[in-house]
Structure 1
Amino acid sequence: MPRVLVPLAEGLEELEAVTIIDLLRRGEVEVVTAALGAREVTASHGTVLVADTDLDAVVDEQFDMVVLPGGLPGADHLDQDPRVRALLQRHHAAGAYTAAICAAPKALASLGLLDERRATHYPGALNAADFPRAELVDAPVVIDGKVVTGRGPGTAMDFALELLELLQGSECRAQVETGLTRAA
């Protein structure tokens, strides 16, 4: 069973975080949510999420994918956290997937993980002049090698389904997607 880490930072975009966590778990992916600080994390619109653990407890573990939800100031907290930065660099170097949506691709860009890659982001979250080696495009989801980026809350479901397909295959994605549109 694939393992995915979703770090949770104060001020994250709850729609993105919950959609990613929910759809991956529906697809039988082991998702570990880890708070940067206290396990109760207040999202950008006041929703309180309770993380499975704190980041220190899992920071040295290997995952198949690390996924950063966006939102502000959550994405800035992720970008500035030295544990998250080291984790992203280590997973990228090991050939594992790194993924970020909305404003969170900034954390990938600031580490050079978007250099020579196509990526998307929430409009205004990244300035092309600041990251001239990245090809920033206006698309809902971009997969370039082992780096996946998504535009924002409105594309969270597409983003999560793409992640699921990468981890579990197209048949699993189709089953989860069908389950979302059919009456229970």
Structure 2
Amino acid sequence: MARVLVPLAQGCEELEAVTITDLLTRAGVTVVTAGLDENPVKASRGVTLLPDTTLDDVNADEFDMVVLPGGLPGADYLDADPRIHAILKQLHQQGKYTAAICAAPKVLAGAGLLDGRQATSYPGVLDGMNLPQVAVMSDAVISDDKVITSRGPGTAMDFALELIEQLKGREIRNEVERGLCR
């Protein structure tokens, strides 16, 4: 069974975090949410999220994918955490998936995972950085090899469906999508 790690930082975008977790779970993926510390996570719009565990208590080798929700200042906290960069690099080196939405693709860029790739993010995030080695696009979702990026809260469902397709195949994606009445 596929396993996905979703790190949750204070100020993350709750719509993205919950949509990713919900849709992956509907697809039969085991999702583990991990806070950067032991505290409940107060998301960007004031919703309190209770992570399953802490980042210190996860073993990155047990996951097939890591997905970073965006939102500010959540993405900034993820980017400033060396454990996140280490996990991203480790999974990437193992040929596993890394994914980020909204402001969080800047964390992938900071870890060097967007070099030579196409990527998207919330308007102004990636294109506001000096990243000449990254083809910044305006697509809703971009999957470039095993690095997947998306624009923001409005693309969270499409992003989560793409994650499902990459992990479980088109048939499971279609099954989940039918259940959503899309």
- CA offset at residue 61 of structure 1? 3.5
Aligned length: 182
1:136 matched to 2:129? The reply is no
Take 2:91 and 2:60, find their aligned partners in 1: how far apart are those partners? Answer: 10
- CA offset at residue 37 of structure 1? 1.3
1:90-169 counterparts in 2 under 5 A?
A: 90-127=90-127, 130-169=130-169
- CA offset at residue 128 of structure 1? 5.6
Deviates further, 121-130 or 152-161 = 121-130
Contact 2:23 2:176 in 1 (8 A): yes
Q: Which amino acid aligns with 1:113?
A: L
Give the TM-score taking structure 1 as reference length.
0.96
Give the TM-score taking structure 2 as reference length.
0.97
Partner of 1:173 in structure 2?
Answer: 173
Take 1:153 and 1:67, find their aligned partners in 2: how far apart are those partners? Answer: 14
State the identity as a percent. 62
Partner of 1:38 in structure 2?
Answer: 38
Change in Cα spacing, 1:60 to 1:28, as seen in structure 2 (3 Å) is closer
Structure 1 runs, 4 residues or longer, greater than 2 Å off = 59-62
Deviations 1:122-156 (A, max 9, x none): 00112365111000000000000010000000000
Take 1:122 and 1:59, find their aligned partners in 2: how far apart are those partners? Answer: 30
Alignment partner of 1:67: what SS? strand
Take 1:110 and 1:85, find their aligned partners in 2: how far apart are those partners? Answer: 8
